[in-house]
Amino acid sequence: METTEVTRRPARLAIGVIGPGRVGSVLGAALERAGHRVVAAAAVSDASRERVAERLPHATLLEPADVVEAVDLVLLTVPDDALAPLVRGLVDTGTPVAGTFLAHTSGSHGHGVLAPATAAGALPLALHPVMTFTGRDEDLDRLTNASFGVTAPDVLRPIAEALVVEMGAEPVWIAEEHRTLYHAALAGGANHMVTLVAESAALLTRAGVDDPGRMLAPLLGAALDNALRLGMDGLSGPVLRGDTETVAGHIAELRAHSPESVPAYVALARLTADRALAAGLLKPHDAERLLDVLQA
């Protein structure tokens, strides 16, 4: 008899979601698409309850402790600062966690934040999706080919990675001691990029550009592609050229129109000069003149 796709897959799990917001509801839906079943959820806000109804229709709304008791795997998709108190609260109230997979999605934490539950017999997993979530329907499709930062005890690593693969994403192993550095890298790249782009658009508007997004899209798309493919070799612009007067002019205009952005511009220009100098892209005498201007 031919083996079916269902029988080749790992055992299907009953899943619960504590904190079914933008992330939890999408990951729950992704696991359901892989053949698991989300049977319970703990939701506080009206928005979260609506997401359960729309994306996790088989889930019953329960209290967090009851969710844990009802399932094989719990997605703990709460804010970073709420994660440790939630885990401690479950353990302190006697919630039976032994033998249950507890998977959180915090980027900055490894599985150590689940230590109280692990000591009580829980099976800890850290599964961080490297993706932004907007709450829109396309979030689920964006998981495909995304990466997850995975951290778990060695014995659970195959299970953690298999769950990520089932969601259509790529597991990337992050050592427990490197989680904070890993997360700082992601936040610095993604979150700060949003601020930089929004600031650029606002300045272009002040300069009289009617559609700054249309102007920025090709430039920033090419810059991102260059950076990902070439690293510092993809750099262009006045810092690379050593155009000290141009950089000084930028700082003067920013002081006049967006003084709060001057420290960020100076810090990033200094970092750019340092990296370009180290890569041999910027001549030492040009770097020296630039750094004199960037003392602001």
Place of tokens 């890569």: 279
Using an 8 Å Cβ cutoff, are 127 and 163 in contact?
yes
The model's pLDDT over 3-42, given as tens digits with 9 standing for 90+, comes to 344 334 557 899 999 999 999 999 999 999 999 999 999 9
Confidence check: pLDDT of 56 > 90: yes
Confidence check: pLDDT of 234 > 80: yes
Please give the structure tokens belonging to residue 35. Answer: 């053949």
C-alpha torsion sign, points 48, 49, 55, 60: positive
Domain boundaries defined on the chain: 5-174, 182-293
Place of tokens 């002081």: 255
Beta-carbon contacts of 78 under 8 Å, excluding residues fewer than 6 positions away, are 18, 19, 86, 104
Using an 8 Å Cβ cutoff, are 55 and 26 in contact?
yes
pLDDT on residue 145:
83
Confidence check: pLDDT of 88 > 90: yes
Q: Please count the other Cβ atoms lying within 10 Å of the Cβ belonging to residue 247.
A: 22
pTM of the model: 0.86
Q: Would you place residue 296 in the very low, low, confident or very high pLDDT band (cuts 50, 70, 90)?
A: low
C-alpha torsion sign, points 3, 155, 167, 221: negative
The model's pLDDT over 112-145, given as tens digits with 9 standing for 90+, comes to 999 999 999 999 999 999 998 887 888 998 898 8
CATH number of 5-174: 3.40.50.720
How does the average pLDDT of the chain come out, rounded? Answer: 93
Once rounded to an integer, what is the mean pLDDT over residues 162-183?
97
CATH number of 182-293: 1.10.1040
CA pair distance 118, 17, nearest whole angstrom: 18
Please give the structure tokens belonging to residue 136. Answer: 């829109």
pLDDT on residue 107:
95
Confidence check: pLDDT of 257 > 50: yes
pLDDT on residue 3:
38
Using an 8 Å Cβ cutoff, are 138 and 170 in contact?
no
CA pair distance 122, 47, nearest whole angstrom: 29
Considering only CA atoms, which of 6, 11, 32 is closest in space to residue 143?
Answer: 32
pLDDT on residue 134:
84
Q: Please count the other Cβ atoms lying within 10 Å of the Cβ belonging to residue 264.
A: 15
Instruction: Give 104-107 contacts, CB < 8 A, sequence gap 24+.
Output: 104/75, 104/76, 104/77, 104/78, 105/23, 105/24, 105/27, 105/75, 105/76, 105/77, 105/129, 106/80, 107/80, 107/149, 107/179, 107/182, 107/183, 107/186, 107/187
Q: Beta strand 37-42 with 170-173: parallel, antiparallel or unpaired?
A: unpaired
